[in-house]
Structure 1
Amino acid sequence: MVKRFECDVLVVGGGINGAAIARDAAGRGLRVVLCDKDDLGQHTSSASSKLIHGGLRYLEHYEFGLVRKALRERETLLCSAPHIMHPLRFVMPHDSGARPAWMIRAGLFLYDHLARREFLPGSHSVDLRAHPAGAPLQSRFTRGFMYSDGWVDDARLVVLNALDAHERGAVVLTHARCGAPQRHPDGWSATLDAQGRHLQVNARCLVNAAGPWAARFLHGATNAAGGRALRLIKGSHIVVPRLFAHPHAYIFQHPDGRIVFAMPYEGAFTLVGTTDVDYRGELDKIAISADEIAYLCQLVNRYFRQAIAPEDVLWSYSGVRPLVDDDAASAAAATRDFRLEPDLAGAPLLSIFGGKITTSRKLAEQAVDWIGAALGHPAPAWTANACLPGGDLYGPRPDKRAVLEFGAWTARQASRYAWLPEALLVRYARAYGTRIHPLLARRASLADMGREVVPGLYEAEIDYLVRHEWARSGADILWRRTKLGLHVAPGSAALLDAWIGARKGAPALQ
Structure 2
Amino acid sequence: MTSRTKYDLLVVGGGINGAGIARDAAGRGLSVLLCEQDDLAAHTSSASTKLIHGGLRYLEYREFGLVRKALQERETLLRAAPHIMWPLRFVMPHMPDLRPAWLIRAGLFLYDHLARRELLPASRGIVMSRHPAGAPLVDSIKRGFVYSDGWVNDARLVVLNALDAHERGATILTRTKLVNAERDGGEWLAQLHRADGTTLEVRASAIANAAGPWVGELLKGALGRPASHSVRLVKGSHIVTRRLFEHDHAYIFQNPDKRIIFAIPYEHDYTLIGTTDLEYRGDPSRVAIDANETQYLCDSINRYFKQKISPADVRWSYSGVRPLLEDENADNPSALTRDYSLELDAPADQAPLLSVFGGKITTFRKLAEQAVDTLTEALGHGASAWTVDAPLPGGDIAQANFNRFLGEFSREHAWLPASLAHRLARAYGTRANRVIGLARSRAELGREFAPGLHEAELIYLRDTEWARSAQDVLWRRSKLGLHAEPGTLEQVTRDIDAWFAREPVRQSA
TM-score, normalised with respect to structure 1: 0.96
Equivalent-residue separation in structure 1 for 2:457 and 2:84 (angstroms): 17
Letter in 1 for 2:361: I
**Which residue in the other structure is 1:397 paired with?**
none
Q: Which letter does structure 2 place at the counterpart of 1:479? A: W
**Identical-pair percentage:** 60
Rounded to whole Å, the distance in 1 between the matches of 2:359 and 2:146 is 26
| 2:451 equivalent in structure 1 | 455
Deviation readout 1:334-363 (Å, 9 max, x if unpaired): 000010000112310000000000000000
Aligned to 1:398: none
- List gaps (5 residues or longer) in structure 1: 395-400
The answer on 1:378 being equivalent to 2:391 is: no
1:215/1:227 contact within 8 Å kept: no
Measure how far apart 1:506 and its partner are. Answer: 5.7
Q: Which residue of 2 aligns with 1:412?
A: 408
Find the aligned partners of 1:260 and 1:145 in 2 and give their Cα distance: 15
Give the equivalent residue in structure 1 for 2:359: 355
> For residues 37-56 of structure 1, what are the structure 2 equivalents within 5 Å?
37-56=37-56
Separation in 1, partners of 2:201, 2:223? 16
- What residue number does 1:13 align with? 13
Q: CA deviation at 1:326?
A: 1.6
Letter paired with 2:379: L
- Report Cα offsets for 1:149-196 as digits up to 9, x if no partner: 000000000000000000000000000011121122411011111110
**Per-residue CA distance 1:249-283 (angstroms, 9 max, x = gap):** 00011110101100000011100000000100122
Partners of 1:226 and 1:438 in 2: how far apart? 44
Counterpart in the other structure of 1:208: 209
* Equivalent residue, structure 2, for 1:34: 34
Answer yes or no: is the 8 Å Cα contact 2:2–2:171 preserved in 1.
no
Q: Give the aligned residue type for 2:268.
A: G
Instruction: Give the superposition deviation at 1:227.
Output: 2.5
Q: Which residue of 1 aligns with 2:296?
A: 295
The corresponding residue for 1:189 is: 189
In 1, Cα distance between the equivalents of 2:227 and 2:234? 22
Q: Distance in 1 between matches of 2:107 and 2:298?
A: 28
Deviation at 1:226, TM superposition (A): 3.0
Q: Any conservation in 1 of the 2:239–2:272 contact (CA below 8 Å)?
A: yes
Match of 1:482 in 2: 478
Q: Which residue of 2 aligns with 1:89?
A: 89
| 2-structure distance, mates of 1:74, 1:3 | 39
Partner of 1:97, secondary structure, is coil
Of the candidates 408, 427, 435, which is equivalent to residue 431 of structure 2? 435
1:303 is displaced (CA, Å) by 0.6
Letter matched to residue 275 of structure 1: T
Q: 2:247 maps to which residue?
A: 246
> Matches of 1:435 and 1:141 in 2, distance apart?
45
Q: Is the contact between residue 3 and residue 199 of structure 1 (CA under 8 Å) also seen in structure 2? A: no
Q: How many residues align?
A: 500
Counterpart contact for 2:178–2:190, Cα < 8 Å: yes
Structure-1 separation of matches of 2:221 and 2:172: 24
Distance 2:352 2:479 in 1: 38
Alignment of 1:241-320 (within 5 A): 241-320=242-321
Q: 2:394 aligned with 1:390, yes or no?
A: yes
Letter in 2 for 1:458: H
Q: What letter is aligned with 2:190?
A: A
Q: Deviations over 1:16-39 (max 9, x none)?
A: 000000000000000000000000
Separation in 2 of the partners of 1:392 and 1:343? 37
Q: CA deviation at 1:507?
A: 8.3
- State the AA in 2 paired with 1:261: F
2:462–2:505 contact (8 Å) kept in structure 1: no
2:231 alignment partner in structure 1: 230
How many angstroms apart in 2 are the aligned matches of 1:436 and 1:242? 28
Query: Cα deviations across residues 469-494 of structure 1 (Å, max 9, x unaligned)?
Result: 00000000000001111011321222
Letter in 2 for 1:360: F
Aligned equivalents of 2:506, 2:284: Cα separation in 1: 35
What are the superposed Cα offsets for residues 119-178 of structure 1, whole Å, 9 maximum, x if unpaired? 200000011111110001111111000000000000000000000000000000000011
SS in 1 for 2:245: coil
Alpha-carbon distance between aligned partners in 2 of 1:447 and 1:61, rounded to the nearest angstrom = 56
Contact 2:160 2:392 in 1 (8 A): yes
Provide, for residues 266-310 of structure 1, a one-character-per-residue CA deviation record: whole Å limited to 9, x for no partner: 011100000000100122211001110010011011110111111
